[in-house]
Structure 1
């Protein structure tokens, strides 16, 4: 990044910090008391810009498929200060048992994937982080310790995001070009930090089924959004909290049907099917069986481009830059 670009990025970050402080002066107001400047400002801070859905996919493929894994492991517990060995063991299962099986499965179906990994997980298991890139998969940013970035100040969020990227690069030898924010949260500063870092894409927001360009305060950013959705995420269906009311409420094979229907609709529309999974959640036997069936189902279709999030973001932006 040039000095001039850094200067512009810093100015954006400073401006956003000021906006955040200004908005805090209205924190005692109820939303129905906000004037139009306030509610419109919140709505227009980060929006969906032009669609980046290409007219055709590489090789004349009928649709694109982007499979991703958030390798959170122990970090959601650590983030919340939960240090019980029993709690941490749930995350350890993802790294110890699930990841090797997932990598074998992806190789068998010849499917490249994107792994979004908190930096603390990469520091705990450097060989795991390197195993992703060694196998031809993408390693991307997913926070430092799966922090709740909406609870951080601008400088703290920025420092952790930069440190996470540096750590993944030092361990894997590859500089990440994409980010998925922990818990899919976006603060008033997140996009500004992402732009400052020169990242190619984000995969945390939900304004479309197809890739689109992010707009910040009315300005096109060039950042590609690879949209996610809770429907295409394993966590809402399978998470369990022992001392809370959170319980799995749907059978794995019923989830398989949902995901097959999502893929079928994307295939019929010539669009993108994006899937988000977590090794410590999807990686148990009955759920891996369902994932195996889903990947076989997808791979068995003609005209499917199986790609990483990076591949899709690069292709979509290149196609629209030509127009």
Structure 2
């Protein structure tokens, strides 16, 4: 390694391999399901927020737009999520008695405190998705640390308590795990897509918990393939993922993450896919709909177990 090379963390291509943990979750469940609601609306890049560029992805896919023209259509599509979509999702979660985790951007909650109050009052977990919906790998280490501090302070104000989980937009920087470890108040991060169950990583001699997230069981498909992905496709993909993981969970605990966005699945023609899945998975008595914080606490308790 040259003297000016960056100290990249090592990769782990092995993981648990064929030595995956056995047993069940502590409450006896074999499969844990965590519904994640990405609440980013109001913190995305836009000229309205004073940014130098704008979000390229819309309901129409990545739509080319003149660099110096304010994209009013894009802004209104994001506004739908905070004005309508998030309330539709909250109603669906409440009707099914499903606790979820909100990957929330602090600034988004600041701009819509009614949503922040509803999320907390309805018993959902708030995991920090950053101060803004930004690409932290573009920040310096000092800037990223400052934004972490801003986010924690903001959530304490809007939610009445700090978050214990962290998740970056489009992946962490090489500094993120060190910074949240140094901050001291986080139980876990979800900046990985490489497993179906939690695992530990070493961060400067400390064992840190990672709860992997999902890119595939995710309603972003509606915007990535506009007009091609229908609500039925999303329901079937959730159902297929559930059935495979549930079968595998006979050998040991498994975790299913479902990624949602208010501006995407919160549309009338899509929300029933989510409701149908809640009805379907809710028929199983040994399935645990829960928050990431609860999963983290369960996995941390396994450290002293023979199954850990």
User: Does TM, normalized by the shorter one, top 0.5?
Assistant: yes
- Determine if contact 1:54/1:320 at 8 Å carries over to the other structure: no
More helix by share: 1
The residue aligned with 2:65 is: none
How far apart, in 2, do the equivalents of 1:194 and 1:278 lie?
Answer: 25
How far apart, in 2, do the equivalents of 1:136 and 1:48 lie?
Answer: 36
The residue aligned with 1:284 is: 267
How far apart, in 2, do the equivalents of 1:72 and 1:52 lie?
Answer: 34
Q: CA deviation at 1:47?
A: 8.1
- The CA RMSD measured in Å over matched residues stands at 2.5
Structure 2 vs 1, CA of residues 294 and 160 (structure 1 numbering), >3 Å: closer, same or farther? same
Q: CA deviation at 1:316?
A: 0.6
What SS is found at the alignment partner of 1:168? Answer: helix
- Determine if contact 1:234/1:278 at 8 Å carries over to the other structure: yes
TM (norm. structure 2) is: 0.83
- Determine if contact 2:230/2:270 at 8 Å carries over to the other structure: no
Map residues 158-169 of structure 1 onto 2, 5 A cutoff: 158-169=145-156
What SS is found at the alignment partner of 2:45? Answer: helix
How far apart, in 1, do the equivalents of 2:294 and 2:15 lie?
Answer: 20
Cα shift readout 1:104-149 (whole Å, capped 9, x = no counterpart)? 1111111000001111101101121121111000011001121111
Where does structure 1 lack aligned partners over 5 or more consecutive residues? 1-18, 25-40, 241-245
Structure 1, 208-217 or 167-176: larger mean CA deviation: 208-217
Structure 2 vs 1, CA of residues 318 and 209 (structure 1 numbering), >3 Å: closer, same or farther? same
TM (norm. structure 1) is: 0.80
Map residues 65-76 of structure 1 onto 2, 5 A cutoff: 65-76=33-44
The residue aligned with 1:258 is: 237
The residue aligned with 1:42 is: 8
Choose the corresponding residue for 2:130, options 127, 130, 143. 143
Map residues 173-188 of structure 1 onto 2, 5 A cutoff: 173-183=160-170, 185-188=171-174
Count residues in correspondence. 280
Structure 1, 223-232 or 277-286: larger mean CA deviation: 223-232
Structure 2 vs 1, CA of residues 181 and 173 (structure 1 numbering), >3 Å: closer, same or farther? same
Q: CA deviation at 1:59?
A: 2.7
How far apart, in 2, do the equivalents of 1:127 and 1:261 lie?
Answer: 35
How far apart, in 1, do the equivalents of 2:74 and 2:233 lie?
Answer: 28
The residue aligned with 1:33 is: none
